Amino acid sequence: MTCVREDLTALLDGALPPARREAVNRHLEGCGACRAERDRLAATLAALSRLPEPPEPSPGFDARLAARIARERRPGLLSRLAGLRWTVAAPAAGLAAAAVVATVAIRERRLADEAVAANLEFLADYEIAASLGDVETAEDAAVVLALDQLAR
């Protein structure tokens, strides 16, 4: 047997079949270099076993996970958008972005400009969607605001 080095980690892990394990151990009895390599790898495994445990999840972890799962129960705007083809999403993104801008303009300045007039139909759809509860989280709102970026 000329080389057992490829088997040394598996030997230390107890993952060699019995016959192979016996053969490797016989080789080690007569080969100082391979014994030294086995000892080096054994010391490495011992060092790795002393690695501190990863930190515990933060206190809000369970609540955040439960909230994400709860959001999955009701398909929202986010998941619907994920299913859109980009060819549909791109023009929709532009319209939605315009609609958001238009909404702000209406509510804050109450100015009816040409952009609003051009997008009134979509704006109506948007507000209907919002009234149905599709846009009720900050995440959904962020998606709407970032639609132009998604479409690029």
Partner 1 sequence: MVPDPDAALMLAFQRGDPSAFRTLYQRHARAMVAFCHHFVRDSARAEELAQDVFVKLYRAGHRYTPRARFKTFLYRVAANHCLNEVRRGEYGAREREDRDGPSDPDRIASPAPSPEEAAEGAALERAVRGLLARLPEKQRAALVLCRFEGMSYEEIAQVLETTVPAVKSLVHRATVTAAEALAPGGAARMEEALP
Would you tell me which residues interact with partner 1 (CB under 8 A)?
6, 8-10, 13, 15, 40-41, 43-45, 47-58, 61-62, 64-66, 68-69, 72-73
Min dist CB 101 to partner 1, Å, is 31
Tokens of 132: 């149905």
Nearer to partner 1, 107 or 152 (CB): 152
d(CA 68, CA 137): 12
Cβ-based neighbours of 91, under 8 Å, separated by 6 or more: none
With tokens 């014994």, the residue in question is 35
Work out the angle between the directed axes of helices 120-131 and 86-104 (0-180°, nearest 10): 90
Min dist CB 31 to partner 1, Å, is 17
Nearer to partner 1, 26 or 40 (CB): 40
Min dist CB 43 to partner 1, Å, is 8
Nearer to partner 1, 32 or 54 (CB): 54
d(CA 149, CA 33): 60
Nearer to partner 1, 71 or 150 (CB): 71
Min dist CB 62 to partner 1, Å, is 7
d(CA 41, CA 9): 7
